[in-house]
Structure 1
């Protein structure tokens, strides 16, 4: 227990099942019950080497922390860190300012084009608000640091691009299973592999939803303008905290460096995760709601694991009923709010015979093309989901009853075309462009 400030422990001669020396207590009279040993190694107090007086002291410390903890979380209004008004900034700069406004106080990342300005901005700005910044050794370390910071009670963020996002998939799967709120920015570039590091693309849209093993539901957002980057970054943190889940915000090499005017409000509505002392920290919950989330130090006896577990985090890997109910909970806590998570811009759909479905940056070109088609008398409309997943299936099916055809332009090989075609019986035309260029609306 190198973390013990009183040097109560030292290595014993006994080798445990994991191949490490067990600790023995050499100075029990020094124990103050701070609980650091339990926080860093939850199984420590169950070791046979602990005498009764130390065991009792640590338990008393835990109970004291638990009884002093108070319920917290929910909606609140906070003042913007910047003066309200108009600003001229890039997409990457907007992510930095929005994250801080939403309450982000931890960032870990590894430099990668075209997300570097997010790392640079967070490194500069976090120290101004008493936050923590770590440049990790790679993207694998980055995502796991984010998960640890989140369990410590901080709103946490990382940012990367396609190759780094691929490395984060195992960590994202752990975030799904352990219900860890966090936000991951993927500034997409043309791939696969290194691809065109400086060129924009939307080639990670399927990966954002289906990249991790286990296949549970994800919340994925994709803005089209710098103003939406600002707004949806705040929304990403709110959704992560509300549903205790990793939320993916997609950007791309064009949007990240695009400079536009944005409006900053004086006050911002943000959500903090719910904590109720004594409540189970994991699902399933009776109404598929989000369970209470303590932070390290609250005195709750909670295990955090990527293995199948019960409502208190205790591993139950051999129980099929626990596995089934847990996986359904991870899906249903999001899907039960599918309609609330439908956020689309609609244009000229009232009498449209052809509906263009576009995502992210492509929405800018699609909007220009639809307006030009209308000027020429063509009955064309636009549906642009800001929240890509959960996919707005009901709205697309409603449109299928009114339009004759869907057109799906994309900066990839047609990844979302398949999602659209699976939902409707109408003709769906794919317009793929995976060449690292913005789609020309003409």
Structure 2
């Protein structure tokens, strides 16, 4: 397999990753700082035989993506904070109907319209819990232009495999930076679980929690509803036992695969002071480590934030403190606290600027 070198912006890399993964539908509405994803798809998708539609708003955007996914297309949208909020009801619908789709959120400062051109990570809890009810999703966090490409490809494969919305939770820093990237000639394409004609469309195969996918247009006459439904897809919203069984399966199909889905790096697992980061702050921690060669600085770098890889925390057996820099007020730091007895120090930063290496180094040195 051959590859080529490119010098791309992060948002362009995400769009190119989607195209390489076989995305053939994009429904979106322009919003800073994600607009370049839509602009690039508008130019490139028709040349690939795909469809780009600028919808009237973000509610319609995610609805169009769900509809396209049910015709068998790999489908995606891209947005930022305010648009993401508008998508939440239909994201819950996608979770309930087990619709595979990809949502790119290039995060910006909030709440409300906030800081359209500045970086943030304030939507991390929203992507996990933003819609009502109990459900589970998958969220990936890139820290480089290369990962904007690679993790977009991965998002499509995971969405298809688990029949679930998958989020690429980027931020303005990563979305707008430009770096050298290695573009492979081909990428992995896992496809959706096969549907066996004649079986109930929402009945998982034996030994699985995930049903086969009966795409529209194949004559399967599948009924799809956001109401609580039985394995035939028919509404059955007043049966407590059926509802509990369905919702538990929607959650368990993701959370039971937490260790398999986990994607993280461990640096210096015997360290006592350990940084934990995802997205743009990863780069600052990497610089701290590079500036302190020979120092025992621990680092847990997370790519798959949801489901949260809590088992990774136990790999730092001598940890006396976890230091968590985030571009929010400590959203994932709270999740880490739920899973460990090690003291957790949240290092929040708002306003759009990254933590500096000096800031993080000073915190690490204060307790060493």
The interval holding the TM-score normalised by the smaller chain is over 0.9
Matches of 1:283 and 1:94, distance apart in 2:
37
Secondary structure of the residue aligned to 1:328 is helix
Alignment of 1:380 onto 2:334: no
Secondary structure of the residue aligned to 1:269 is coil
Matches of 2:203 and 2:352, distance apart in 1:
42
Matches of 1:156 and 1:267, distance apart in 2:
19
> C-alpha deviations, 1:267-294, integer Å up to 9, x for none?
2111111233223221455534321111
Matches of 1:270 and 1:284, distance apart in 2:
22
Q: Who is 1:13 aligned against?
A: none
Q: Who is 1:430 aligned against?
A: 346
Is the contact made by 1:283 and 1:329 (CA closer than 8 Å) also made in structure 2?
no
> C-alpha deviations, 1:297-323, integer Å up to 9, x for none?
111132100000011101111111110
Matches of 2:34 and 2:342, distance apart in 1:
38
Secondary structure of the residue aligned to 2:189 is strand
> C-alpha deviations, 1:377-424, integer Å up to 9, x for none?
3x321101100011011111342x321111000111111110011111
Number of equivalent positions: 357
Q: Who is 1:93 aligned against?
A: 12
Alignment of 1:300 onto 2:220: yes
Q: Segments of 4+ in structure 1 off by > 6 A?
A: none
> C-alpha deviations, 1:340-371, integer Å up to 9, x for none?
1111022222x211111001111000111133
Matches of 2:292 and 2:121, distance apart in 1:
25
> C-alpha deviations, 1:60-113, integer Å up to 9, x for none?
xxxxxxxxxxxxxxxxxxx9xxx8311110101001110011010000000100
Matches of 1:398 and 1:382, distance apart in 2:
11
Pick one of 319, 325, 328 that aligns with 2:239: 319
Pick one of 306, 328, 338 that aligns with 2:258: 338
Q: How large is the Cα RMSD of the aligned pairs?
A: 1.4
Matches of 1:305 and 1:291, distance apart in 2:
15
Matches of 1:265 and 1:289, distance apart in 2:
32
> Who wins on radius of gyration, i.e. which is larger?
1
Q: Who is 2:366 aligned against?
A: none
Matches of 1:215 and 1:434, distance apart in 2:
30
Pick one of 89, 114, 132 that aligns with 1:170: 89
Where does the alignment leave 5 or more consecutive residues of structure 2 unmatched? 359-368
Alignment of 1:108 onto 2:27: yes
Matches of 1:182 and 1:152, distance apart in 2:
12
Pick one of 391, 395, 401 that aligns with 2:312: 395
Alignment of 1:249 onto 2:168: yes
Secondary structure of the residue aligned to 2:158 is helix
Pick one of 112, 123, 133 that aligns with 2:42: 123
Is the contact made by 2:204 and 2:212 (CA closer than 8 Å) also made in structure 1?
no
TM (normalized to structure 1)? 0.79
TM (normalized to structure 2)? 0.94
Q: Who is 2:156 aligned against?
A: 237
